[in-house]
Amino acid sequence: MSHGEPNPIVNAASNAIAALRADDDQIELAKAHESLNTKAIEKLEVAEARQQPTVKDAVIAMLTKRGQSTDPEALVPGVTMKTITVDGAVGALPANVYTPQGVGPFPVILYFHGGGWVIADKDVYDAGARGLAKAANAIVVSVDYRQAPEHRFPAAWDDALAAYRWLSQNAASLGGDPVRMALAGESAGGNLAVATAIAVRDAGLPAPRHVLSVYPVAQTSLNTESYLENAIAKPLNRAMVKWFVDHLVNSEEDLKDTRLSLIDADLAGLPPVTIVNARLDPLRSDGAKLESALRDAGVPVERRDYEGVAHEFFGAAAVLQKARDAMAYAGDRLRTALG
């Protein structure tokens, strides 16, 4: 077996399970991703892992095959994007600013991309952030926080809080309303969104009105029901999560930190939270556990679990019906909260 190639037996089993459980369009997307010769991230060095084809690349491949436009502005009309820098914890961070059509000032959503705190960036997650700008009729600021292993835990969390502080002071310069702010993120970014809401509360900063957390990491055991059920799922599997965490933490002690293990954090007094999960995702149970912990803390929370789709589905609205459904739901929840 050559370097980084997926185990052929595990690969065949994963595909067979997906064929039974996944929606037809999700299966098509998975096949498009596999056709790009993706390697097993958990077998790679970080530099090579960061070069692997993404689900975004698979969406583009599907659209191209169908003869459809791959231009982001055609896929999500009425949203413009520019790149700025915002203040992180130790220096400037690049950020994409997505602005909907119409007359501002608009509500402002600070968005954190996924990638296990190790790979991917704001551009890989363009579709999720751009879609939210349209669906929520809000300015979305998607920030590139520092990543591990060059910047291990808690660098990303420190940057996330610093970016929120910057945005609360500078929203007006972007055409936004600093009184109507929200936090959002996918996967690792879904964790950052909730963790930042906690940090904002503890720092006494102006509170966001809502938190959208899409398939978040919310605890650190790899033995939850969904980790075992979806151990060899695609595009995220149990071994990959372990690889991400191993590159992230300084020691086992970090795994107990409530910024990673959100379900053990003091969640009281947080703004209302919306959680989006996918059935075919090792992180599904994390979302369910977070919902329970928030409810126990008296935080208004609503969670939707989408059947037949996998991790990373949320940003694939160009090709997945459930992604369109989830985006509309998230947009509606944010719009209502942000007024």
Catalytic residue among 226, 281, 285, 286, which? 281
Confidence of residue 18 (pLDDT cuts 50, 70, 90): low
- Six-digit token string for 255: 């795994």
CB-based contacts of 154-158 (< 8 A; 24+ apart in sequence) = 154/257, 154/259, 155/89, 156/117, 156/188, 156/192, 157/192, 157/195, 157/196, 157/199, 157/259, 158/88, 158/89, 158/90
Condensed to tens digits (0 to 9), the pLDDT of residues 101-136 reads 999 999 999 999 999 999 999 999 999 999 999 999
DSSP characters for 116-166? TTTS--TTTTHHHHHHHHHHHTSEEEEE----TTTS-TTHHHHHHHHHHHH
- Our answer to whether residue 266 is catalytic in this structure is no
Q: Kindly give the pairing relationship between strand 79-87 and strand 92-100.
A: antiparallel
- CATH T-level topology, domain 71-338: Rossmann fold (3.40.50)
Average pLDDT, the chain: 96
Answer yes or no: are the C-beta atoms of 120 and 57 closer than 8 Å.
Answer: no
Tokens 């098509």, residue? 28
Condensed to tens digits (0 to 9), the pLDDT of residues 42-79 reads 999 999 999 999 999 999 999 999 999 999 999 999 99
Whole-angstrom Cα Rg for the chain: 19
pLDDT of residue 3: 77
Catalytic residue among 187, 213, 261, 285, which? 187
Query: In b/e form, how buried is each residue of 113-144, taking b as 16+ CB within 10 angstroms?
Result: bbbbbbbbbbbbbbbbbbbbbbbbbbbbbbbb
Confidence of residue 223 (pLDDT cuts 50, 70, 90): very high
pLDDT of residue 270: 98
Condensed to tens digits (0 to 9), the pLDDT of residues 250-296 reads 999 999 999 999 999 999 999 999 999 999 999 999 999 999 999 99
Alpha carbon 12 to its chain centroid, in Å, reads: 27
Query: Which helix (H) or strand (E) covers residue 214, if one does?
Result: strand 210-214
Confidence of residue 153 (pLDDT cuts 50, 70, 90): very high
Answer yes or no: are the C-beta atoms of 334 and 132 closer than 8 Å.
Answer: yes
Tell me the percentage of the chain whose pLDDT exceeds 70.
96
Helix axes 126-136, 55-65, angle to 10 degrees: 80
Question: What is the C-alpha to C-alpha distance for residues 263 and 255, in angstroms, rounded to an integer?
Answer: 12
End-to-end Cα, the chain, rounded Å:
55
Condensed to tens digits (0 to 9), the pLDDT of residues 200-216 reads 999 999 999 999 999 99
Question: What is the C-alpha to C-alpha distance for residues 316 and 296, in angstroms, rounded to an integer?
Answer: 33
- Six-digit token string for 186: 């996918």
Tokens 């991703």, residue? 33
Q: What is the pTM of this model?
A: 0.96
pLDDT (average), residues 180-197: 99
Confidence of residue 37 (pLDDT cuts 50, 70, 90): very high
- Our answer to whether residue 311 is catalytic in this structure is yes
pLDDT (average), residues 170-188: 98
Burial-class residue 65 by CB neighbours within 10 Å (0-12, 13-18, 19+): exposed
- Our answer to whether residue 246 is catalytic in this structure is no
